[in-house]
Structure 1
């Protein structure tokens, strides 16, 4: 069953104001209650992560097995004994130190990868044969086969081929362009049965230092993942080949190279905040030196006619 595009309005939560007057102290939870709430939050977060990531699920099962064995041993050796919070904390610590859990970047890449598409453009040679013209990246944004990529990836292409995460292929047509942001909207001609659309997230709460991941096909190799941080916002960039300056870009330092163009820039939650569009290199080499740029997803989604956040 195909899945619809999802939108996230994730934002940093502001702390709730404390009640005024003498009632503030009475409303404040007791230390034991704070500890219980904190422990419940940790368990809920762990269970949510386990549901998304198989490796975390197996780690959770191993932890539950260890707790069960401990209970049985205590029962057989010393009679009935309730597990204490100290027992649980020790078991959790033992699991964390013995299990190789995935990083936040790995989890983000795993979440976005089903929506990442390899985009290959072709032109005709003098014999009328299709010749590969360029390779880039795209990201699925709706379950109807709408894909975002960079205009320079497909510009002048006579034929476009898409390769989806499951290995299936499809031709594509250009359904729209937004030249001022170097964006193209592609429509897949064949949609796989198990089609995944990315979750898009507003950039309103992004700040320099926020961690991000870029997934794509640098030099045609991939899907490849790189991680870094947001370096700045509201940047301007003009590629050496381009005549038009692109404004209001996200600057990031996750490694990107030719072939990453059109790919998603995502948060640690795996939500798309931008479309990778260019890299800055003061030399004539088209390689990454630490500065990449992405079009904010609000502009990119607007190119596809999607409503604003």
Structure 2
């Protein structure tokens, strides 16, 4: 429908002026204002820009989420072959500690150095130990001892193992027998006097009580020998010739062995035979499995000569016998 023209409210609308000239056209104010308005600016207005930015952000978020979903959906699952390859690569590129090293690390905090002081003995074993200690210190083999109490010398140097955190220590009887003074040195370097609280001569065992102990003393874990077999791996930890703590590794080479001392004074039975190196000073120290658990107390080495050094066979008292000497059978 054709829209009628809009006019002003003038009382009359002459077609011409009084002087006969044509009358000027009268324009509606709304039309005039529209015609006089400047042309619209090209480009986005503020409201339109905000809407466009919001739309763009929404599209980007949807695209990112879709990509993540696609990656999750298409990620390759690890197979056993991948895991085996990763483990093999780790083993090839990293040096792992040996089983004996791990076992020694476990038991070392429980191992102590034991020294008995008293009048100097004249036995072949005492002379051998003295020469070994002097050579380890860079001295002449026959140099006199100078680190004991006044008027006393080192009569026996051996090893002990803590089995109770109150300072109860197992060692060999021959290490401390006849000593007037006993000194133990713990893993943290603390030195303390000790006294004998129990003996088991038939197994060459002695129980010591340290008069002073470290704040964080760790006792060793004892393990039954019921399932021990020849060929099982073992390690001996101790102070051969006073040097240590030292570690040697080998295997159990026999069970229920007997040993007679070179002087023929005593025969020990039901011993664990092993081939981990042991020398004078290892006596009283722990024989452990690869979990660092104590299987026995090193007590003797077999050597038919007068050298009293290791030639391949050592003996240990099973821990069942050793613990009973302390009055606390563990199994």
TM-score where L is the length of structure 2 = 0.67
* Counterparts of 2:190 and 2:264, CA distance in 1: 33
Which deviates more, 299-308 or 256-265?
Answer: 299-308
Alignment-derived partner of residue 47 in structure 2:
none
Deviation at 1:93?
Answer: 1.1
* Counterparts of 2:323 and 2:185, CA distance in 1: 21
Matches within 5 A, 1:86-235: 86-123=81-118, 128-235=150-257
Does the 8 Å contact 2:222/2:330 carry over to 1?
A: no
Deviation at 1:284?
Answer: 1.3
Deviation at 1:83?
Answer: 3.4
Deviation at 1:128?
Answer: 4.8
1:85 to 80, 85, 88: 80
* Counterparts of 2:110 and 2:320, CA distance in 1: 18
Alignment-derived partner of residue 315 in structure 2:
293
Structure 2 SS opposite 1:141: strand
Alignment-derived partner of residue 244 in structure 1:
266
* Counterparts of 2:181 and 2:278, CA distance in 1: 25
Does 1:282 find its partner at 2:273? Answer: no
TM-score where L is the length of structure 1 = 0.72
Does 1:253 find its partner at 2:275? Answer: yes
Gapped regions of structure 2 (runs ≥ 5): 1-69, 121-148
Does the 8 Å contact 2:119/2:155 carry over to 1?
A: no
Residue by residue over 1:70-97, the C-alpha shift from the partner in whole angstroms, topping out at 9 and shown as x without a partner, is xxxxx99xx8444333332222111100
Higher relative contact order (CA 8 A, sep 6+): 1
Residue by residue over 1:145-181, the C-alpha shift from the partner in whole angstroms, topping out at 9 and shown as x without a partner, is 1000000000010111111111111110000100010
Does the 8 Å contact 2:190/2:213 carry over to 1?
A: no
Gapped regions of structure 1 (runs ≥ 5): 1-74
Structure 2 SS opposite 1:167: coil
Deviation at 1:270?
Answer: 0.8
Structure 2 SS opposite 1:201: coil
Structure 1 SS opposite 2:283: coil
* Counterparts of 1:128 and 1:162, CA distance in 2: 18
- Relative distance call for 1:293 and 1:117 in structure 2 (3 A) is same
Structure 2 SS opposite 1:200: coil
* Counterparts of 2:265 and 2:226, CA distance in 1: 29
1:271 to 287, 293, 298: 293
Residue by residue over 1:193-240, the C-alpha shift from the partner in whole angstroms, topping out at 9 and shown as x without a partner, is 110100001111111111111000111111111111111111111111
Count of matched residue pairs? 233
Deviation at 1:133?
Answer: 1.7
Residue by residue over 1:250-282, the C-alpha shift from the partner in whole angstroms, topping out at 9 and shown as x without a partner, is 111110000000000011111111000000011
